[in-house]
Amino acid sequence: FTVAWAMPKHASITRSDILTAYKNRMITKTEAADLLVDMGEEYFHLDFMLKAVDYKKDLELTENKIKGIRNLYKRRVYDENKATDELSKLDLPAEEIGDLMTQWYYEVKAEVPRRWTTAQVLSFIKEGLITKERGIIELGLIGYDAEHINVYVESI
């Protein structure tokens, strides 16, 4: 039997279908090779195609790991040293690691820091969780001018 003979006339299986199934681990490398041979592929071509699929799969995995490390660094779960160590485990060239860390550094620095709301600052001062001086600084960081800050602080 061949794959072509066993398939109904309206159904067809393509090289792309086989390679996609192999990439998604739905079939083994041996099964993929057997199907490709049944389709008439030569050993040289099918070996190259399967190696290319493996390479692309490894590349995607590495790219996803890099994205994960980036997210953990940006969320400040990883510091610069931990992120660099994790990137090094991926066998990336030192120059690439340096470039990624530089890019991520600027992405983190470009983020606007989260601030407390006016109500939170005032309640924190009132409850003694922060000093009056710290509250004045926080209100200034939110964007209030001296006049508004004084009115808020006096209202406590």
Q: Is residue 47 part of a domain?
A: no
Q: Which domain holds residue 34?
A: 1-41
Q: Is residue 71 part of a domain?
A: yes
Q: Is residue 49 part of a domain?
A: no
C-alpha to C-alpha distance for 130 and 118, rounded to whole angstroms: 13
Task: Say if residue 101 is in the same domain as residue 137.
Answer: no
Please list, in sequence order, all residues whose beta carbon lies within 8 angstroms of the beta carbon of residue 60, skipping any fewer than 6 positions away.
Answer: none
C-alpha to C-alpha distance for 154 and 140, rounded to whole angstroms: 15
Task: Say if residue 63 is in the same domain as residue 99.
Answer: yes
Task: Say if residue 91 is in the same domain as residue 130.
Answer: no
Q: Is residue 93 part of a domain?
A: yes
pLDDT value of position 9: 53
Q: Is residue 13 part of a domain?
A: yes
Domain count, the chain: 3
Q: Which amino acid is at 72?
A: L
| Cα separations in angstroms, 56 against 21, 22, 51, 52, 59 | 14, 12, 9, 6, 5
**Successive 10-residue mean pLDDT values, the chain, 156 residues:** 52 89 95 92 89 96 98 95 97 96 94 89 95 95 94 91
Task: Say if residue 61 is in the same domain as residue 107.
Answer: yes
Task: Say if residue 70 is in the same domain as residue 106.
Answer: yes
Task: Say if residue 106 is in the same domain as residue 62.
Answer: yes
Full-model pTM? 0.64
Task: Say if residue 74 is in the same domain as residue 34.
Answer: no
pLDDT value of position 1: 46
